[in-house]
């Protein structure tokens, strides 16, 4: 693993790479309120071992990338999509396979439409184009996030407990919740964060609506991966997304929630490896 702190257009983006740069590149984009640590190191290494050059990075307002004052994000979803291109430029990569989860999947759709010449394939995990007729997140999730105002964001234990609790309510019934592993990841999140409170800026962002209305124009091979028990972005969103994008393939994770669970890694890594091989 190699870290690179990218400085471009007045912002900093922290990235890490795995594998040999001569291999086809896969850019991993994580979801809201989550840094690159949630693309776990072992996951990235195993994906790289399939013959890929894998890059994970911190979005703005998480991890070691540029943060903004809580409540004052001076950027849009379009800016975040363009950050992905900044990462590719820093690694001198002309084209890449883009893999995005949750909000990262939404950004992946924007990238495919804003920068189609830079995208080889897309893989969309637990995400949506957020069409108006799709079901909302479950009440238990809304209730959990409604208590965020009571969290002391300057207190490590308070924040770690919140992150662990968030992960706990998002798991599906198929796999056990590995509290020890999630606790370790939450501690790592805290340790390398510039400002944990800033991650809440992701909930305030705007932009991207005009692109999400055009997902049918995405013209690269697309793999949609979605769990049947996703409580934030229900499974119907994945079905709709696969139907909206021409020739998209839907991989259903039975009993999985809004998660990248270790027990699903073999299937997910194999599917991404095969999907990113179709142009070879």
pLDDT digit string, tens, across residues 107-125: 999 999 999 999 999 999 9
Q: Which pLDDT score, from 0 to 100, does residue 278 have?
A: 78
The answer to whether 256 and 175 have CB atoms below 8 angstroms apart is: yes
Q: Is the pLDDT of residue 70 over 70?
A: yes
State the fold for domain 2-275: Rossmann fold (3.40.50)
Long-range CB contacts (< 8 A, 24+ apart) of 203-206?
A: 203/32, 203/33, 204/71, 204/73, 205/73, 205/75, 205/76, 205/77, 205/80, 206/76, 206/77
Q: Is the pLDDT of residue 146 over 90?
A: no
pLDDT digit string, tens, across residues 2-37: 999 999 999 999 999 999 999 999 999 999 999 999
Q: Which pLDDT score, from 0 to 100, does residue 82 have?
A: 97
Reading the block at residue 43, the tokens are 């996951």
pLDDT mean across residues, the chain = 95
Q: Which pLDDT score, from 0 to 100, does residue 208 have?
A: 81
Q: Is the model's pTM score more than 0.85?
A: yes
The answer to whether 139 and 248 have CB atoms below 8 angstroms apart is: no
Q: Which pLDDT score, from 0 to 100, does residue 207 have?
A: 85
User: How many CA atoms lie within 13 Å of 58's alpha carbon, on the beta-carbon side?
Assistant: 27
- Domain ranges for the chain, please list them: 2-275
The answer to whether 242 and 270 have CB atoms below 8 angstroms apart is: no
Cross-strand pairs, 226: 252
Q: Which pLDDT score, from 0 to 100, does residue 280 have?
A: 56
Q: Which pLDDT score, from 0 to 100, does residue 148 have?
A: 81
pLDDT digit string, tens, across residues 163-220: 999 999 999 999 999 999 999 999 999 999 999 999 998 988 988 888 889 999 999 9
Reading the block at residue 145, the tokens are 């996030």
Give the pLDDT band (50/70/90) at residue 67.
very high
Q: Is the pLDDT of residue 279 over 80?
A: no
Of the candidates 123, 114, 55, 116, which has an alpha carbon nearest to the alpha carbon of residue 81? 114
């Amino acid at each position: 693993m190699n870290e690179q702190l990218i400085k471009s257009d007045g912002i900093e983006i922290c990235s890490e790479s795995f594998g040999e740069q001569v291999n086809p590149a896969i850019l991993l984009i994580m979801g809201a309120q989550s840094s690159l640590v949630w693309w776990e190191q072992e996951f990235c290494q195993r994906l790289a071992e399939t013959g890929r050059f894998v890059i994970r990075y911190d979005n703005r307002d998480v991890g070691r990338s540029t943060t903004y004052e809580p409540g004052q994000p001076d950027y849009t979803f379009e800016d975040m999509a363009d950050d992905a291109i900044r990462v590719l430029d820093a690694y001198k990569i002309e084209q890449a396979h883009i893999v995005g989860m949750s909000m990262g999947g939404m950004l992946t759709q924007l990238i495919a439409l804003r920068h189609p010449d830079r995208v080889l394939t897309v893989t969309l995990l637990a995400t949506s184009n957020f069409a108006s007729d799709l079901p909302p997140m479950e009440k238990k999730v809304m209730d959990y996030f409604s208590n965020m105002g009571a969290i002391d964001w300057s207190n490590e234990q308070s924040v770690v407990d919140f992150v662990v609790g968030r992960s706990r309510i998002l798991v599906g019934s198929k796999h056990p919740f590995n509290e020890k592993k999630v606790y370790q990841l939450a501690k790592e999140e805290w340790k390398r964060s510039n400002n944990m409170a800033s991650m809440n800026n992701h909930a305030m962002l705007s932009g991207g609506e005009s692109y999400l209305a055009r997902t049918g124009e995405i013209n690269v091979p697309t793999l949609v991966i979605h769990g049947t028990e996703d409580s934030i972005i229900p499974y119907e969103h994945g079905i709709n997304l696969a139907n909206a994008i021409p020739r998209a393939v839907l991989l259903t994770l039975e009993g999985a929630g809004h998660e990248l669970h270790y027990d699903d890694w073999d299937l997910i890594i194999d599917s991404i490896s095969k999907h990113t091989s179709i142009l070879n």
